[in-house]
Structure 1
Amino acid sequence: MSARKFSPPLAAPPFRLNPVLLRYEVVTDLAAAERIVPAWNELLDRSICNRAFSSPIWFLAACQVQPELTPWLALAWRDECLAGVLPLAVRPETQDAVFPNSMSNYNDLIVANGNGAAGAGLFEFAVSERVHFRRLDLKWVRQDSNLAAALHALSGRRELEGCYFSDREYFYIALPPTPAEYLASRSRVFRKGVSRILRRAAAEGLTMNELTPADLPPERLVELFLSLHFSRFGEKSAFRPGLPNSPFAKLALPILFAERRLHAFAVSKEDKILALDLSFRGARSLCTWNGGYPPSAECWSPGRLLVLSGIQRASQLGLEEYDLLRGNQEWKASWANRSRTVGRIVLEL
């Protein structure tokens, strides 16, 4: 990981900071945090942030399953309207302020799209609250995020110089107008492979479809997901017993599915679901997150069938990207036509 001063492509912030118009609050009690869930969701839907990773239930569930963390939720208000949210937690043993869940792939400060002044003001407030933590360690920050814009707006502050670290590349698909055009852009070998698995799926009675809460109760979806994920990965599963990820999934995923921030894609045979992929909505993207299937289903290449379903749905929704998220696996590289740098903000206070 190499340090470099963060320098987004903007020549200058397109706004002027005016913190007088904002008041700030820190919430460290989850019951108090729950009271702003409707306002948080409404703000999230007007933002550029991922609709799951930046959601209130993601934060609340992460804090509930990690009681060793102290919630530190920074809020910006304009009159009685919620204008900004920075959902952090503090590790008491190190006094680091972090985004509290490792299963997130993108983390950000939440403000309405175009309201960079509120984001910069809220981040400046958080940095000033150094009595509560010694260091900010913020992972999985995109270069086009609200946090990146806030850093740029505050770039005159010496203590913020060199606090952004490029970490890794994420693969994604920049979607052309139709899935057919995307496939036409891939190699002949790739296209032949896709045609082969689709023919076999059709010949053997497999179907691909998106599940909704009307098809499958949200709690049942999570049970099925955990079962199929463990079937595929066994003791390497990130959701195996003993880790906080499984109880986190049981708390967060049913709500995200019910709110349609989570899209579930299935491969089925004779009404039995063989494979499952869970994808989250971004502002302009659909992001494939996690899934699973048993070894007995490997012969049908269910992972590829699920990606095809996700691309089709993203296109139907008029989205710009199908995001393959964190991980440099070869299969992701084979589908991707773009990548983006995601980094980390480390700031000693």
Structure 2
Amino acid sequence: MRVETLTTLDDLVRLEPAWAALFGRVPAAAPFASPAWLIPWWRIFAPGRLATLAVWEGDALVALAPLYVETGPALRRLLPLGIGLSDHMDVLIDPAHAAAAGQRLAEAIGATRRDWECWSAEEAAPGAAVLGLPEPYGCASTWADHSASPVLDLPGSGDTLDAVIPPRKRRKWRMALNRVGRRDWRIAATTPETLTEDLGHLFRLHGARWESRGEAGVLADARVQAFHAAAAPGLLDAGLLRLWTLRIDGTVAGAYYGFARPGAAYAYLGGFDPAFAFESPGTLLVGHAIESAWQDGAAAFQFLRGQEAYKYEWGAVDRWTRRRSVVPL
């Protein structure tokens, strides 16, 4: 197996087809490890020196560590691409070559240890490949809990959502459906033709939701909006994006922005018009997302990091992401 070091945006773009194919062979990988997410992130932010490592066996990409070196005045850190805006970050390792490719990737990371003072693997989900990589040569690791990431485990095909959603929330969901049922309403999935418009609704409504609390919200940053606008077409084309808008009497009252892979769905952002609070757009959209994930056969609905009360109202329970910190000896 040979190792390639990628140091420019052009390198990442050139790698994209092989990266997408590898991502497709790793069923446990979250959308945040896909090229559709991480290449736009690097294009918009590029906060350091790119130091991504690719492991090849012949013409097949069998492992990838999307990394960069933070070049600020403080500690030189080796960090994952996507940090700050991503959850469930990980390296990608082809399951058919897991042991050999993982070993080779760990060796490659260890070989760069003079370039950094700490490699910090952030927001790794339980069971993430990066947590189980062999110790890089000349290094030592420590592990710690990182963030609470509530998860709703979904029932199998022989059961119903009533088995996992608490009765109080089921009643609130039914009440919201009854209230909106008196109006002309629909939830629609975005399409390539409506994507730009739907993202605009998401940005506007997310801002309105946070402004009603006297806060700005993550989308107040123009670069963050630019990133999502750049990433969304590729995510949609890859079948990863779940962007829905709720219209009530012709007005967009809410928007939901999440992702899905076989086996799991991920709730990322949302927003609603405070003028429609009586109809509970947030409940309607999250309920729709959970129901859609269950109907698609997902085993888990990931609410991602943050301990907001509404997540637990749906029956989610905390699962903690982990941080692996690696330092040269």
8 Å Cα contact 2:30/2:89 also seen in 1 = no
The match for 2:52 is 73
1:333 to 288, 312, 328: 312
Give runs of ≥4 in structure 1 deviating > 6 Å. none
Following superposition, the deviation at residue 344 of structure 1 comes to: 0.8
The match for 1:237 is 217
The AA in structure 1 aligned to 2:49 is T
Q: 1:195-344 to 2 correspondence within 5 Å?
A: 195-213=174-192, 216=194, 218-234=195-211, 235-241=215-221, 244-344=223-323
Structure-2 change in CA distance of 1:88 and 1:197 (3 Å): same
Compute the TM-score of the two structures, normalised by the length of structure 1: 0.85
Counterpart Cα distance in 2 of 1:98 and 1:265? 32
Find out whether 1:109 has 2:91 as its counterpart.
Answer: yes
Q: Deviations over 1:19-39 (max 9, x none)?
A: xxx111110011121011011
Gaps of 5+ in 2: none
Find out whether 1:27 has 2:6 as its counterpart.
Answer: yes
Counterpart Cα distance in 1 of 2:203 and 2:316? 30
Following superposition, the deviation at residue 254 of structure 1 comes to: 2.4
Secondary structure, counterpart of 1:315 in structure 2:
helix
Q: Deviations over 1:193-235 (max 9, x none)?
A: 2211111111122223433335x1x333322221221121135
Counterpart Cα distance in 1 of 2:166 and 2:124? 32
8 Å Cα contact 1:44/1:51 also seen in 2 = no
Structure-2 change in CA distance of 1:182 and 1:316 (3 Å): closer
Q: 1:132-211 to 2 correspondence within 5 Å?
A: 132-150=115-133, 154=134, 159-161=139-141, 163-177=142-156, 181-211=160-190
Secondary structure, counterpart of 1:131 in structure 2:
helix
Following superposition, the deviation at residue 155 of structure 1 comes to: 5.7
The match for 2:81 is 100
Following superposition, the deviation at residue 182 of structure 1 comes to: 2.0
Counterpart Cα distance in 2 of 1:277 and 1:180? 26
Following superposition, the deviation at residue 180 of structure 1 comes to: 7.1
The AA in structure 1 aligned to 2:291 is Q
- Judge which range, 277-286 or 33-42, deviates more: 277-286
8 Å Cα contact 1:286/1:319 also seen in 2 = yes
Counterpart Cα distance in 1 of 2:276 and 2:158? 25
- Judge which range, 245-254 or 300-309, deviates more: 245-254
Find out whether 1:36 has 2:36 as its counterpart.
Answer: no
For the aligned residues, what is the CA RMSD?
2.2
Following superposition, the deviation at residue 295 of structure 1 comes to: 1.4
Secondary structure, counterpart of 1:26 in structure 2:
strand
Report the count of equivalent residues: 321
Compute the TM-score of the two structures, normalised by the length of structure 2: 0.90
The match for 1:125 is 108
Following superposition, the deviation at residue 125 of structure 1 comes to: 1.5
The AA in structure 2 aligned to 1:115 is H
Counterpart Cα distance in 1 of 2:53 and 2:138? 23
Counterpart Cα distance in 2 of 1:309 and 1:179? 20
Secondary structure, counterpart of 1:327 in structure 2:
coil
Counterpart Cα distance in 1 of 2:103 and 2:263? 23
Q: Indicate the percent of aligned positions where both proteins have the same amino acid.
A: 20
